[in-house]
Structure 1
Amino acid sequence: MDPNVAKLIGPTPEGVTFPLPPTFDSFEEERQHRKEQLAAAFRLFGRLGFSEGVAGHITVRDPEFPDCYWVNPFGMAFSLIKASDLLLVDHEGTLLVGRRLVNKAAFVIHSAVHAARPDVVAAAHAHSLHGKAFASLGIPLDPITQDACAFYQDHGLYLDYRGVADEVEEGKRIGVALGAHKAAILANHGLLTVGQTVAEAAWWFVTMERSCQAQLLAMAAGTPRLIDHETAERTHAQLGGSLAGWFQAQPLFDQVFAASPDLVD
């Protein structure tokens, strides 16, 4: 376990273990798990109001064919998506599995991110209210809260907005702005987050959206007090790792699976 995460756990009784992301014995099992997690992430985004018409997409690599990824059908409500509705596309945008349209913007952005970052398994982008409002400022998140420290020196800023992302070069520029970080603010557009699991990528999006909201509120009220560099770095180490992101998503995913058992169909 990440030693920074271990510091956050109190005394552990004998026989009690810290939950970890599951492992699988076959590509088929892992593929189904990733698809179910992806469907759950869409249901979660729908519950939290992150949908905006047909905008927004979350993707996950196929475990057997890592140059291909699963994505939501274009124009389908987040709150209705099931695992069986998901589409499989390659990095050229070719539809390999499924019978619905592919969102070109999803292909342009996510194919570039997945190609540039072999370590990224999942990526999330949506036009959430506070994320796009904050993105209009063209500034990074400040370390003004404990939660925001998860992104301290760990998010990119893309300032070259040129309209709807419908060109491959636009996706490549976004990939460059993301760099080695877990997230990026796309100026005049919205937020983008990535992770080694669907749950991690989804959590970073949820907490980044809320951190944008918190900073907007604080800036409207006055001048926010910044957390000092050393403390922000230490807090990032505790809260900003891949395992911490996956674990923090579990309560939300538990609620979604309990409320929407049909999503695994």
Structure 2
Amino acid sequence: MAPAAVYNTPQTRGNDPTPIQAMSHGPTIPGLPSFKKLEEKRQWQLEHMAGAFRVFARHGYTEGMSGHISVRDPIQEDAFWMNPLGVHFGMLKASDMILVNLDGDIVKGSNDRPVNSAGFLIHAAIHRARPDVHAICHTHSTFGRAWSTFARPLEMINQDVCNFYNAQGVYAEYGGLVLGVEEGRKMAEALGSNGKGLTLMNHGLLTVGQTVDEAAYLFRLMEKSCEAQLLVEAAAANGIQKQIIRDEEAAYNFKMASEAENLYCEFQPEYEYELFLTGGAFKAWF
């Protein structure tokens, strides 16, 4: 049975419209859902988590056993759900996810599947440091890995990347595979108290959000922004001058678009397309 979600219409904040209201000409599209029971919210989160993995698989964000998404549990808030190690993103279902607490204990999940050790250390450190973060995405995507070699933040070279204006970090160290607590802690520090995206030098990208939808949309956006940045850098190397968006306009774009509910809505076309393609098979809960 599907979770009993109520999809709320975003409410005006004082005299100012919400970002979704400002973007909607005519009826306002539905915003974040609410639930009467936390068990229903948990199921909804896991369904959207599985949907995010299917989206990532369709866009090729796979590299062997690397890559993980975590979602903080709404009932046991010192624990988060992760994907099992060694299962292709395109095969994951809601029922496959594993609940692990911040101490590393498996709370719920399959007895014959572990989670990624490096992934646990990274996600646990960020969930500890950022109570506002409910979801984290990290994969070894192609353009993110390429851009990460420069250990530089993305520049505000187009409207979309302004979602990361003053909200991105760079972890400019590389200590090999993350198999120690200290490395995860350093990554959390590099992300900062308000970061939405993190470039991991010689490694890849990481994004966070208040919903898995927000974190997944931001990951897609950050990966495509790395591709755009690399194309621009190639053109600039041939003498074509870059035009960077001014701080004033970048700050305005960030204010109007990089808001949790709006970023949740940004991911829904991808999620709904997965529903269309698969008939919702990834929502299986048993």
Q: Same fold (TM over 0.5)?
A: yes
Q: Distance in 2 between matches of 1:65 and 1:4?
A: 31
Counterpart CA distance in 1 for 2:275 and 2:95 is 15
Q: How far apart, CA to CA, are the structure 2 residues paired with 1:4 and 1:165?
A: 40
User: 2:81 aligned with 1:67, yes or no?
Assistant: no
Q: Distance in 2 between matches of 1:242 and 1:183?
A: 14
**Aligned 1:21-32 pairs, distance under 5 A:** 21-32=32-43
Partner residue in 2 for 1:8: 23
Superposed displacement of residue 102, structure 1: 1.3
Task: State the match for 1:207 in structure 2.
Answer: 221
Structure 2: distance between partners of 1:193 and 1:65: 22
Which residue of 270, 279, 283 corresponds with 1:252? 270
1:262 Cα shift? 1.1
Provide the residue aligned with 1:194 in structure 2: 208
1:229 to 226, 242, 247: 247
Task: Give the C-alpha shift of residue 110 in structure 1.
Answer: 0.3
State the TM-score, normalizing by the size of structure 2. Answer: 0.89
Map 1:25-40 to 2 at 5 A: 25-40=36-51
TM-score normalised by the chain length of structure 1: 0.96
How many angstroms apart in 1 are the aligned matches of 2:50 and 2:174?
29
Is the contact between residue 71 and residue 87 of structure 1 (CA under 8 Å) also seen in structure 2? yes
Does residue 115 of structure 1 match 2:133? no
Match of 2:187 in 1: 174
**2: distance between equivalents of 1:220 and 1:214?**
10
CA contact (8 A) 1:199 1:246 kept: yes
Establish whether residue 240 from structure 1 lines up as the match of residue 258 from structure 2.
yes
Say if 1:95 and 1:102, in contact at 8 Å, map to a contact too.
Answer: no
The match for 2:60 among 49, 53, 70 is: 49
Task: Return the alpha-carbon distance in structure 1 between the equivalents of residues 144 and 165 of structure 2.
Answer: 16
| 1:20 aligned to which of 31, 52, 56 | 31
Q: Between Structure 1 and Structure 2, how many residues are aligned?
A: 261
**Gapped regions of structure 2 (runs ≥ 5):** 1-9
- Deviation at residue 48 of structure 1 after TM alignment: 0.5
Gaps in structure 1 of 5+ consecutive residues: none
In the alignment, is the contact (CA less than 8 A) between 1:4 and 1:237 conserved in 2? Answer: no
Q: Which residue, out of 176, 189, 200, partners 1:163? A: 176
Secondary structure (helix, strand or coil) at the match of 1:7 reads helix
Shift of 1:177: 0.6
Q: Distance in 1 between matches of 2:61 and 2:45?
A: 21
Q: CA deviation at 1:63?
A: 0.4
